[in-house]
Amino acid sequence: MHPAPSIIFFTVLSGIGLGMIFCLGLGLGPEDALFAWVASILGLGLSAVGGAASTAHLGRPDRAWRAFSQWRSSWLSREACLMVACLAAFGLYAAIWTLFGLRLAVLGWLASGLAAATVYATAMIYAQLGTVPRWSATPTPQLFLAFGLVGGMLATETAAQLSGPSGAVGHGWLLVALLGAAGMMVAWTTDAAGAGRRSTGSDMGTATGLGRMGIVRALEAPHTGRNYLLDEMAYRVARRRAYQLRLLGAGLAFGLPTLVLGLSVVLGGLDFGLLMLVVLAAHTAGMLAFRWLFFAEAEHIQALYYGIR
């Protein structure tokens, strides 16, 4: 599948932002006025920037508002509705928190629940597509939720470290979350490796109905040039470097953060203000690499008609 940069940035940034809203809504973080401002702006900003980026891949962005109408049937519509509801709830929570120093627990829980539901809806947009078995035959919702949670925890901790001496999450818990998300990634990747197009039972024989007569082979393509179907759903450019990208993603998203936080637990009492920012940046970069692969490695069954992957 074509890895549109706008969708990759949207899902990664809004994933971290929504994870942060989830943590803040649960009341994590120190009672500190500066933290309230830094955390609220970062959480809202990441989610909103991500949401805005998602409109960049639309053919008609001026009609994006119509996506709020089909929540009864469409996961993409549900995601849009939940995202706006979450931002509204957390926006109100953040306004009361920053201006009056009051963290309304019930409103926070509402924002947390909406944040988790938004990430789930995002994942279901992909997980619902039986045409892309790498997304639908794998624990994609669990993967997105795990990534959102660990990204949110890291971002919340970063905001706390930057705005004061006290942390928000505790580095032991961060380590647990990092290892848990890394484990989820390994589990998902293992499942995905077995979720080729054959796993759907479809091949060129069933696609053309000619399989009952013998072995089917594409003899002539319907067009000599490229087209939307091939550009969008038979994208092959980045797969050559999949191994290197996966290694880079694992090192940046999980390796470096685990190392730094592990040192913090072992040595204790280190000043992690700026270092946490580096950790968060590395984690985000690693996530971008993983998300690129999520699209670039996914194979669509319609390409069976062309006899290519």
Partner 1 sequence: MTSLPQSTQRKMGLVIDLDICVGCHACAVSCKEWNTGGYGAALSDQGAYGEDPAGSWLNRIHTYEVRPDTGPAKVVHFPKSCLHCEDAPCVTVCPTGASYKRVEDGIVLVNEDHCMGCGLCAWACPYGAREMDLAAGVMKKCTLCVDRIYNDNIPEEDRIPACVRACPAGARHFGDLGDADSAVSRLVADRGGMDLMPEQGTKPVNKYLPPRSRDEAAAVLGPDLTALAEPEATGFLGWLDRALERIG
The binding site for partner 1 (CB under 8 A) comprises 1, 57-61, 63-64, 66-67, 69-70, 72-77, 80, 125, 128-132, 200-202, 204, 206-210, 212-223, 225-229, 232-233, 300-303, 305-306
Phi-psi region of 201 (alpha: psi -120 to 50; beta: other; left: phi over 0): left
Between residues 142 and 302, which has the closer beta carbon with respect to partner 1?
Answer: 302
Q: Measure Cα distances from 212 to 40, 55, 73, 289, 305 in Å.
A: 61, 44, 36, 42, 16
Minimum CB–partner distance for residue 162 and partner 1 (Å): 36
d(CA 285, CA 12): 9
Between residues 65 and 100, which has the closer beta carbon with respect to partner 1?
Answer: 65
Between residues 212 and 267, which has the closer beta carbon with respect to partner 1?
Answer: 212
Q: Are 168 and 30 in contact (CB under 8 A)?
A: yes
Minimum CB–partner distance for residue 215 and partner 1 (Å): 5
**Closest to 54 in 3D by CA, of 2, 110, 122:** 122
Residue 187 backbone dihedrals phi, psi, to 5 degrees: -65, -45
Minimum CB–partner distance for residue 194 and partner 1 (Å): 18
Minimum CB–partner distance for residue 14 and partner 1 (Å): 16
Between residues 193 and 218, which has the closer beta carbon with respect to partner 1?
Answer: 218
| Token code pair at residue 276 | 């946490």
Minimum CB–partner distance for residue 60 and partner 1 (Å): 5
d(CA 180, CA 192): 18
Between residues 62 and 268, which has the closer beta carbon with respect to partner 1?
Answer: 62
